Structure 1
């Protein structure tokens, strides 16, 4: 049996142009739920190939999606159908490799669909949705930091829902990502605003009392930022002073490997 030959560049270019002309990427994504399992994998391969195709420094498919962003949002909404969510999730992840597309999603209202997808879907779909939300926030750090500065209130109002999640995996991933955002130099202004709010300190101190030692451990990395801040607001400093002895006792016993629960009560 003869091996398949490599595609001829001219043929690939012609195929890509025809895809753009008839809006095939959008059509394939819309049709995904009606396709058989193996055909879905073929669609993923086609779209990923188109996204990776370059002409010198140009990325024609990225340029096309910037002009016609519907496919970006169709891929995101694939999380609403468990049958195709992991397929469209792969395509979305490939799209988010490109800063222009990540910015388009982040600055859209559709970005705020992520918390619902993370909270209300099956384990596998939820983890994939979280991975793509994280990708949007950390791959292109300077761009995302600018967004967080400009939309601080809206972002953290939504993100707090994930920190309060009843799902262990969601809560742990969310606290860990929060710590990562707080220590990123690009997010200095966001970090200072976050640690100046006593309500955020209360939230993190409650996470220090979580039943899971792993969540306590991730929360500790956020708590350290409050303590290390040399410009504490009076209310934040008052809470830390009120709980000084309790915190010292807590930290003396703190270990991510311990099996016992920490039921320390803080005065908030």
Structure 2
């Protein structure tokens, strides 16, 4: 009985310390009853820590308790340990880790975000979270944590400017549908949330980025190809990326790639490619080689646009799409 009484009188900070100790023990214990008991204790301590941060039932969390828990999490290096050992925890415990992480990331002291500041000094935490996509058991949990991290520009910058950013295609192309979709969503978040920072990165790393991104556009996987084309259109049409857009639409190879997609058997692929292709056509300052390609293919493009304009199937009745294809007629007739 004394053992249980001691557990009940733990302070929130002591609970966090006990959590760290049990995670270390879990990592050092072979499979069996002993490991099972430690895992159950880890689950209980995680649930208790979560409740201290977000409240239990209708009770609001205490700011003092939140501060105690947060400071002990930082002191015990739990931000790192929770990600590294997530795969050893039970299903519900993994969900509690997500709650703990997201609550701490959103915690503010005045204008400061202490958890963000700490992770910004520990890039390994971000990279280990990204590596969670390699483990199907925890991929969606770590994906949820990573999305929350990417809301903060200092953390998104660390990932974008790292070598690890270029592992996204592997997770997008070589995992299950659910994990692939989640990984793509995180890559998109990295590339779209903090626009001025991303524009600066793309301008400085144009060739490397688009060499990588083209592999996704040319993917044999329909979903990857479609969502990559859609995101490309969003990137190019964002005002913050004007200089990137002008470089992209000056490339003959890029134009030919989009024209090939206009012939794709999938109407959805054609639709997404059209929104990139129209930027080439509408450019008032076309390089000579771009204008020459469009002139050589003018008749075929006009036939395609006529069919595109008259298509009555699904999304092709959208007014915007029809009005844009009409505008393309005008541009092409003027070539």
Mark yes or no: TM-score above 0.5: yes
CA deviations on 1:159-210 (whole Å, 9 max, x unpaired) are 0000001111111100000000111010000000000010000111111111
Distance in 2 separating the partners of 1:3 and 1:45: 15
Distance in 1 separating the partners of 2:57 and 2:237: 50
For structure 2, the 5+ residue unaligned runs are 1-55, 315-335
Please tell me the root mean square deviation across aligned C-alpha atoms, in Å: 1.3
Asked if 1:179 corresponds to 2:248, the answer is no
CA shift at 1:35, angstroms? Answer: 0.8
Aligned to 1:147: 201
* 8 A contact 1:213–1:258 mirrored in 2: no
Which residues in structure 2 correspond to 1:1-268 (within 5 Å)? 3=57, 5-255=59-309, 258=313
CA deviations on 1:4-36 (whole Å, 9 max, x unpaired) are 632221121121111111210110111111111
Distance in 1 separating the partners of 2:197 and 2:126: 18
Distance in 1 separating the partners of 2:165 and 2:312: 36
- SS of 2:182's equivalent in the other structure is helix
- SS of 1:38's equivalent in the other structure is helix
- SS of 1:58's equivalent in the other structure is coil
* 8 A contact 1:25–1:47 mirrored in 2: yes
CA shift at 1:104, angstroms? Answer: 0.8
Q: Could you state the TM-score of these two structures normalised by the residue count of structure 1?
A: 0.94
* 8 A contact 1:102–1:136 mirrored in 2: yes
Aligned residues: 258
CA deviations on 1:219-242 (whole Å, 9 max, x unpaired) are 000000000111111211111010
* 8 A contact 1:33–1:84 mirrored in 2: yes
Distance in 1 separating the partners of 2:141 and 2:60: 25
* 8 A contact 1:66–1:100 mirrored in 2: yes
Distance in 2 separating the partners of 1:3 and 1:130: 35
Distance in 2 separating the partners of 1:173 and 1:78: 22
Relative contact order: is structure 1 or structure 2 higher (C-alpha 8 Å, sep ≥ 6)? 1
- SS of 2:232's equivalent in the other structure is helix
Distance in 1 separating the partners of 2:175 and 2:249: 32
- SS of 1:166's equivalent in the other structure is coil
Highest CA radius of gyration, 1 or 2?
A: 2
For structure 1, the 5+ residue unaligned runs are 260-268
